[in-house]
Amino acid sequence: MKFIVSSEALLKELQILGGVINSTNTLPILDNFLFHLNGNQLLLSASDLETTMSCKLDVESEDSGIIALPARLLLDTLKTFPEQPLTFVKTEKNTLEISANNGKYAVAYLDGEDFPRAVQVKDPIQTKINGKVMATAINATLFASGNDDLRPVMSGVFFQFTTTELTFVATDAHKLVKYTRKDLEAESNAEFIMPKKPLQLLKSILQGIDNDLMIEYNETNAEFKFGNVCLTCRLVEGKYPNYEAVIPKENPNVMQIGRADFLNSVRRVSIFSNKTTHQVRLKMAGAELHVSAEDFDYSNKAEERLNCDYQGDDLQIGFNSRFLIEMLNNLSCDQIKLSMSLPNRAGIIAPLDHIEEGEDITMLVMPVMLNE
């Protein structure tokens, strides 16, 4: 088994696949990359049993074979090479010899036949979606998903596809984000929960990719294919909570304000808030918003006044500043709208500009009890 490949091209693909590999694996072979050579096509794979990612690379070869090579050793070595052709040759001594411009390196390999195979998605439903749109949907929602092992359904992003629109939802019970594309549709109605890790991998790969992405899914697995990359993962089991029930429909108190000014104000004032509750108080009256925080334990307090456009009754409401900052950070608009009904009901944040046609973002943040 022998092949010649560009060091830079190989490193680029392996760095992408490296994100799949866990720092602690139950099976030692999962610490390796799988190299599957078939003529001038090299298929590279990495897996953690739940998620498998593979990509194809053009190489110079007429051979075929399958071996597993240690991931960390390969990545550390390739990072030190300038761009050059590398020759990989399998030797009699159970090692793979890598020849570079000015050196030779022998790497012990494992039998590739022992490497776990990716799950085949049987009888899948297919949906095609633009890579840029998918990246935006992941960016908009992933940060709001939970980390609670006792509620695994909330640790992923809920994909709700219908014949009229595509919806992506994430929540951790304190905050919720719903991202909808009314200009896109699926062949048939389907719902599934995508785990966090494969979405983080997709997010990093899809940056700046404008090609279409093919999603194939059934009740247990999903597969994402684009370009030369294929990612297969097991879906989160369970039923997603009825998120529509927690989004308040009647919100007569509406504030419009510049996102950057509001964000910076909350950031500054929150430094003076209680370190346990991170509570900031928003007091709206007329065309003014007062943002304040107080830490009674240390007698620290801060208050700022901002101009805003407010329609509704005078209102005081408390929020966890960390959730507000996270949400405002994940929007790219200039102006936002904060809609509220009562001090004990959720507030709804929505962008007022920089929205594509057919795009809809709703962010919900639960209030905290104000200390009077």
Q: Are residues 251 and 361 in the same domain?
A: yes
Q: Which of 244, 276, 308 is the last residue of a domain?
A: 244
Q: What are phi and psi of 28, to 5 degrees?
A: -55, -30
From CA 158, how far away is CA 138, in angstroms rounded?
A: 11
Contacts of 305 (CB under 8 A, 6+ apart): 288, 289, 290, 291
What is the structure's pLDDT at 372? 64
What is the structure's pLDDT at 366? 96
Q: Which of 66, 90, 114 is the last residue of a domain?
A: 114
Spatial contact of 190 and 217, defined as CB atoms under 8 Å apart: yes
Q: Residue 196 corresponds to which tokens in the numbers above?
A: 């966090």
What is the structure's pLDDT at 30? 97
pTM listed for this prediction: 0.93
The stretches of 47-127 forming alpha helices (DSSP H) are 71-78
Note the pLDDT tens digit of each residue in 33-66. Answer: 999 999 999 999 999 999 999 999 999 999 999 9
Residue 48 included in any domain: yes
The stretches of the chain forming alpha helices (DSSP H) are 7-18, 71-78, 131-141, 196-205, 259-270, 321-329
Residue 119 included in any domain: no
Tally of structural domains, the chain: 3
Distances (CA, A) of 98 to 50, 87, 299: 31, 6, 65
Q: Are residues 110 and 131 in the same domain?
A: no
pLDDT tens-place values along the chain, 372 residues long: 999 999 999 999 999 999 999 999 989 999 999 999 999 999 999 999 999 999 999 999 999 999 999 999 999 999 999 999 999 999 988 899 999 998 999 999 999 999 999 999 999 999 999 999 999 999 999 999 999 888 999 999 999 999 999 999 999 999 999 999 999 999 899 999 999 999 999 999 998 788 899 999 999 999 999 989 999 999 999 999 999 999 999 999 999 999 999 999 999 999 999 999 999 999 999 899 999 999 988 999 999 999 999 999 999 999 999 999 999 999 999 999 999 999 999 999 999 999 999 999 999 999 998 876
What is the structure's pLDDT at 201? 95
Q: Which of 87, 114, 141 is the last residue of a domain?
A: 114
From CA 37, how far away is CA 88, in angstroms rounded?
A: 11
Q: Are residues 236 and 254 in the same domain?
A: no
Q: Read off the CATH number of the domain in which 251 is found.
A: 3.10.150.10
Residue 162 included in any domain: yes
Give residue 309's domain range.
247-368
Residue 264 included in any domain: yes
Q: Are residues 274 and 357 in the same domain?
A: yes
Note the pLDDT tens digit of each residue in 303-312. Answer: 999 999 999 9
Closest C-alpha to 27, from 46, 44, 53: 46
Q: Residue 52 corresponds to which tokens in the numbers above?
A: 């498998």
Distances (CA, A) of 69 to 32, 57, 78, 108: 5, 16, 13, 7
